[in-house]
Amino acid sequence: MRLAYLWDSRKCIACGACIINCAANYPELRFEKEPNPMWKWLGANIRRVIREKGKPELRLLSCQHCENAPCVTACPTGASYIEPETGLVKLNKDKCIGCKSCIVACPYGARWLHPKTMYPEKCPGPVCEQLIARGEEPLCVAVCPAEARDFGDIDDPQSSISQKIKRHRVSRMLEHLGTEPKYFVVR
């Protein structure tokens, strides 16, 4: 099983529901003055990037679950690892020494520093991790009004994410870096 995310840029209306729902992973940061100082953002694993030049262009960025993950390679203790059962990139906080190598190594800027625990954080957050383990959708996918998001097993050709990858023009971000990301963008 290789679990992956999909985001359909043709459908996303930038409503931010996925981002805000993602913040449910960090309830302790809800009313913090600066919940995510590194990103100057709310305590969530998804960022919004808007291109202001030319046709309006939007990207929603979160961990790409790289199969060849620079963050994992950079981690000196093995705290960042690829979960063999799911293919998701995870962080074992028991092993993390807080060196931030993974944050620097990630070419997508997908990791941020939790201002209270000082651990790196990334998608999936602690709540979504448990939801995924129960076979439920992560919170960003479950809320999306535009059905612009999907999550599932790309090894299963019947899964809805596999079907979408097959049917649509799909690309992956910064593919040329050889990270083998598993975050598919429909264009």
Partner 1 sequence: MVSLTRRDFVKLAGAFAGLALVGGAAYAARTQVQRMALAQKKEPLELQYVRTFCSMCGALCGIEVVLNGGKPIAVRAIDGQPQTGACGRGASLPWLYDNPLRLRKPLKRVGEKGEGKFVEVDWDTALNEIAAKLKAIVEKHGFKSIAITHHDIWSGYMGLFQYLFGTPNRVDHSGSCFGHGTVARRHTFGIEHHRFVDPDYDNANYVLAVGRTISTASMGVVNRVMRNENLRIVVVDPRAPEIAFTSAEWIPIIPGTDAAFLLSLIHIIISERLYDEEFLMRFTNAPFLIKPDGRPLVEADIREGGGTTVYLVMDAAATPPSLADHRRATRPLLLLPEERREVTLKDGSSVRVKTAFELLAERAAKYPPAEASKITGIPKDTIVRIAREFAAYRGVADDTWYAAKNGNEYDVVRALLILNALVGNIDRRGGLVFREDQGFPSFVTERTVEGRRVAETVYGARMPEAMFADRHAPRVDRVKYPENTSTFDVVFDAILKGDPYPIKALFLIGSSPMAREMKTSKVIEAYKNLELLVVIDVLPQDDVDYADYVLPDTIFLERDETTDIKWSLHAATHVQKKMLDPPPDVDARDALWIMFEIARRAFPERAYALGWKDEYADHKRYREEFMKSFEEAVKSRLASNWRMDVAVVRRELDEKGYIMFKPKEFGVRPYRTALPTPSGKVEIYSLRAVTVGMDPLPDQRPPLYTLPKAPNEFYLVNGKSPNVSVHAALMEPMKYLIERSVWMNPKDAERLGIKDGDLIELEGIDTGVKRRARVKVTERVREGVLFTYAQSAGRTSKLLPPDHFAREGINPHHLNDARPAPGTGGNTHNTSVRVRKVM
Q: Which of residues 52-111 bind partner 1 (CB under 8 A)?
A: 52-59, 61, 93-94, 98, 100, 103-104, 107-109
Nearest CA-CA partner of 113 in 32, 3, 11, 35? 35
139 binds, among ligand SF4, partner 1, none (CB under 5 to 8 A by kind): partner 1
Of 19-48, which residues contact ligand SF4 (CB under 6 A)? none
88 binds, among partner 1, ligand SF4, none (CB under 5 to 8 A by kind): none
Q: Does 91 bind ligand SF4 (CB under 6 A)?
A: no
Report the Cα 8 to chain-centroid distance in Å.
Answer: 14
- Residue 161: phi, psi to the nearest 5? -65, -40
Task: Measure the CA–CA gap between 108 and 68, rounded to whole angstroms.
Answer: 13
| Cα dihedral 118, 124, 130, 131 sign | positive
Q: Does 21 bind partner 1 (CB under 8 A)?
A: yes
Nearer to ligand SF4, 35 or 120 (CB): 120
- Binding residues with ligand SF4: total (CB under 6 A): 29
Of 155-184, which residues contact partner 1 (CB under 8 A)? 173-174, 176
Task: Measure the CA–CA gap between 39 and 42, rounded to whole angstroms.
Answer: 8
Nearer to ligand SF4, 117 or 143 (CB): 143
Cα angle 158, 155, 23 (rounded to 5 degrees) comes to: 90
Report the Cα 79 to chain-centroid distance in Å.
Answer: 18
Which of 64, 86, 101, 159 binds ligand SF4 (CB under 6 A)? It is 64
Q: Does 110 bind ligand SF4 (CB under 6 A)?
A: yes
Nearest CA-CA partner of 152 in 168, 143, 163, 167? 163
> Which stretches of the chain bind ligand SF4, using CB under 6 A?
7, 12-18, 60, 63-66, 69-71, 89, 106, 108, 110-111, 122, 143-146, 148-149, 179
